[in-house]
Structure 1
Amino acid sequence: MILGKIRLLKKELATFSRRERIFILSSMLCGFCICADYALVRPVSNALFITAYGSSYFAYAWLAMIPCNFLLLELYNRLLPRYSCLYLLGGMLFLIALGNGAAFFLLSKEGPYPFFYYIFKELYVMLLFQQLWAMIHATVSFQRAQYLYGLFFAVGALGGIFGSLIPGFFAFKMGSETLLLFSLPCALLLFFFYRSALTHSGIDPLLPPTKKGGVKEGFKQIASSKLLLFILFIVLFMQTSSSLIDFQFNSYLEKTIFQKDLRTEFTGRVMTLVNTLSFLIQTGGGFLLLSWLGLRRTHLLIPLFLLNNAIAFLFFPLLGMITLSFITIKAFDFSLFSIVKEMLYIPLTTEEKFHAKSIIDLFAYRSSKGIAAALILCFQLIYPAHLGSFVTSCLILLFFFWILSVRLLLKRELIESI
């Protein structure tokens, strides 16, 4: 059965036209550049943040991210009907390169720079992914998405592996701040590959992708669509639980590894494992699981697996166990979860793919960290001595409600309409 699916995949890939092949390859390389950049700057940002403030202050950064996220979302939605996709991405990359260049000079000095840079890199990476995937959804059909999306994410995982090797092996020798300069070539290559993909997609590279603007339009679209509401719920569950595990991982990291550059190296190597596991899932595991289990059962598998990890950590609260939980949830988030989530966007209109998707992928993704921050701060006030146990118990509840939402909201009729 599995060999038959692989043969069918090879035959299907052989039917693509030259234009389609260039689009697919260019889109894959865009994902490679974005993931490489994030894998590079994330360990640097986290290590500098912990050194400056300690892991307990992550909750405050996540709360501060909510108003910043909303302002960015409103600006992005207002610019959509005015500028083409290519001009928007070019403007984003110019500001990102400027921000990373400034961070190289400022992060080594005293001040609030690590706090602001942490928020900056979390917001800009989601904006880049939104711009890329909105274009992909407007071009790729559902039938092809079942195997192409896994390949898109697989090449992205290779970029993540490549990017995380730099802080994983050179942070201590070169210094964490110096590594941010490697982000600049990623931005230049991303613009080149995005222009190539856009030229070979179904979107006019010189025309605005939508006619309407503003955040209200996106919220209206989500409220009127059962499919968009379901996507919103699973994103909130995944990202809130991911943020809570991120907090636990950084807390144990702070207690165990005291030197800034060694923290950067450790996180870089962990992210190499995350991206390697993601790559293995994306290069075949995701396609085979979807073929074997179907879309609905695959959606159920993810929270069930993560629930087992949370229960295990409740009984064995060690750095090794939380590192395993961190690797698992990040690998699923970057691979299987992203594949099955992105497939749900395919039947939507172009307006929904840009407006509603931007609210979910920009606002909901990063605002979920605000929900996690509120839970952490409440636990710190009530029972600070048992913070770890409360966070783990909260994770178990989140995974339970996630499973329940899949069973209640993702009906077979809804899947058949995709």
Structure 2
Amino acid sequence: MFPRRLIYAAISISSAAAFVLFGYEFIRSVSSSLFIEAYGAENLMFGMALISPSMIVMLYCYGRLLSWRGATYAVAITSLFSGILILGCYAALVRGMDFAAVIIYVFREAYIVIVIEQFWSFVNSVLTTEQAKRINGPFCAVASVGSFAGGMLVKRWAEVLGSETLLLFAAGSLVPAAVFSVIAYRFGGEPKPSEAEVGGRLGHLGVKTLFRSRYLLFIGILILSTQLVSTVLDLRFNGLAEIELSDTDARTAFFGGVYGSLGAIAGVLQLVVVPLALRFVALRIIHVCIPIVHLVSSLVLTISPSLRSGTAAYVIFKALDYSLFRAAKELFYMPLSYDSRYRAKQLIDSFGYRFSKSGGAAVIGLVKLIVKTIPGIAFSITAMVAAMVWTPIAFNLTRAYQKLVNPK
């Protein structure tokens, strides 16, 4: 079922993902806490609004790099560049330059998806659909080990070392990530574009590929709806944390504990639930049930708002997003072309993820400028509405997928 070279490639690429997510726990907890300290949780939405422009720049650079040197060099260089930029932000923060808190908050949202999506593009290119149904869950689980370890260390070290120092771990983790990703490509082989796709002939960003395919557009719409839920739950979670935890380092430690627990929960789902669900449950049922779960958790948050219910709704969303939703969504890309997997996928899963978060935050920010104060309950109600929109989109997309893989 699995040739030895694919086993080694899977171990390598999942190890690379584990290192990336290990470091991300440090930058995620620290960047949120430092931004809140410098500008307040009520201004997080303005930081989020800067994400989309930064994503466009980084994705264009990634596309040019992919056209110039191929997938192996692209993943290695984007990983190492990210480490260098994080290191530069650390140097600025320890010198009291608050603007670096904005840079690190915005950049953390960009680099993580661009690097991680390259790992998934590799997996989607070298595995068959049946292999992916068995390996996607364990792949996510190995990656989550890094997430869990990073979160627990943030919780333990934040108040001892100070928030800024933890950025060094985020920067350092990207070096072994780059090394393991290159090893994975050596074992799995580098996927090659078709003659029509060589050198980015259809576009470095993949815009033409995306808009020529109704199927890819459906995936994009799915991502927009899911991330609207993510954005409002994120804002509600951070707002409740600011109210109940005023000390910066204590808040960083709390965030670290939450993210570490999130990694552990996601790991269990990835090892146990995902392989069984992908093999024995219809893809349509999986994708339709997920938004229903978020509808219920958001309803609980609306009825009984607290840091506990806010954390629960946020963790439930992220745990499913990192496990069952992620593994099931990746199957949509497997029958597609090189540019669809390496370029259009980045537009959808990197830019689409962050644009919906950034765009949603920008709209919320404009509303806030008009009404001054947005009641917290509005965020959870918005999550409920978005979850209800998400459900029919998932239904239609899975129908299109079945027609693609079973044309008869």
Q: TM bucket by the smaller chain?
A: over 0.9
Distance 1:167 1:221, change over 3 A: same
Looking at structure 2, the residues matched to 215 and 42 of structure 1 have their Cα atoms a distance apart, in angstroms, of 32
- Corresponding residue for residue 360 of structure 2: 372
- Corresponding residue for residue 129 of structure 1: 116
- Which moves more between the two structures, 363-372 or 139-148? 363-372
* Correspondent of 1:319 among 280, 288, 307: 307
Mind listing any 5+ residue stretches in structure 1 that lack a counterpart?
1-14
- Could you tell me how far 1:216 is from its partner in structure 2? 7.2
Q: What one-letter code is carried by the residue in structure 2 that aligns with 1:303?
A: P
Count residues with an aligned counterpart. Answer: 402
- Which moves more between the two structures, 85-94 or 123-132? 85-94
- Corresponding residue for residue 310 of structure 1: 298
- Corresponding residue for residue 160 of structure 1: 147
Identity within the alignment, %: 27
1:288-367 equivalences under 5 Å are: 288-367=276-355
Looking at structure 1, the residues matched to 359 and 90 of structure 2 have their Cα atoms a distance apart, in angstroms, of 31
Give the TM-score, by structure 2 length: 0.93
* Correspondent of 1:78 among 64, 79, 82: 64
- Corresponding residue for residue 165 of structure 2: 178
1:132-161 CA distances to partner (integer Å, 9 max, x unpaired)? Answer: 111111101111111111111111111100
- Could you tell me how far 1:239 is from its partner in structure 2? 1.5
Looking at structure 2, the residues matched to 227 and 327 of structure 1 have their Cα atoms a distance apart, in angstroms, of 30
Q: Secondary structure at the match of 1:135?
A: helix
- Which moves more between the two structures, 241-250 or 72-81? 72-81
Would you say the 8 A contact 1:379–1:390 is kept in 2?
no
Looking at structure 2, the residues matched to 215 and 251 of structure 1 have their Cα atoms a distance apart, in angstroms, of 41
* Correspondent of 1:406 among 381, 390, 394: 394
Q: What one-letter code is carried by the residue in structure 2 that aligns with 1:263?
A: R
Distance 1:150 1:416, change over 3 A: farther
Distance 1:210 1:155, change over 3 A: farther
Looking at structure 1, the residues matched to 225 and 187 of structure 2 have their Cα atoms a distance apart, in angstroms, of 35
- Corresponding residue for residue 105 of structure 1: 91
Looking at structure 2, the residues matched to 253 and 87 of structure 1 have their Cα atoms a distance apart, in angstroms, of 40
* Correspondent of 2:189 among 202, 206, 217: 202
Looking at structure 1, the residues matched to 244 and 304 of structure 2 have their Cα atoms a distance apart, in angstroms, of 16
Looking at structure 2, the residues matched to 403 and 94 of structure 1 have their Cα atoms a distance apart, in angstroms, of 38
- Corresponding residue for residue 91 of structure 1: 77
Would you say the 8 A contact 1:35–1:157 is kept in 2?
yes
Looking at structure 1, the residues matched to 41 and 381 of structure 2 have their Cα atoms a distance apart, in angstroms, of 20
Would you say the 8 A contact 1:77–1:213 is kept in 2?
no
Looking at structure 2, the residues matched to 406 and 278 of structure 1 have their Cα atoms a distance apart, in angstroms, of 21
Looking at structure 2, the residues matched to 117 and 46 of structure 1 have their Cα atoms a distance apart, in angstroms, of 9
Q: Secondary structure at the match of 2:199?
A: coil
- Could you tell me how far 1:94 is from its partner in structure 2? 2.8
Looking at structure 1, the residues matched to 229 and 371 of structure 2 have their Cα atoms a distance apart, in angstroms, of 20
* 1:240 partnered with 2:242: no
Looking at structure 1, the residues matched to 210 and 202 of structure 2 have their Cα atoms a distance apart, in angstroms, of 14
Would you say the 8 A contact 1:248–1:322 is kept in 2?
yes
Mind listing any 5+ residue stretches in structure 2 that lack a counterpart?
none
- Could you tell me how far 1:225 is from its partner in structure 2? 2.2
- Corresponding residue for residue 26 of structure 1: 12
Would you say the 8 A contact 1:210–1:350 is kept in 2?
no
- Corresponding residue for residue 66 of structure 1: 52
Give the TM-score, by structure 1 length: 0.91
1:237-280 CA distances to partner (integer Å, 9 max, x unpaired)? Answer: 11121111111111111111111111110000000111111001
1:20-70 CA distances to partner (integer Å, 9 max, x unpaired)? Answer: 211111111111111111112100111101000011111111111111211
* 1:57 partnered with 2:36: no
Q: What one-letter code is carried by the residue in structure 1 that aligns with 2:159?
A: F
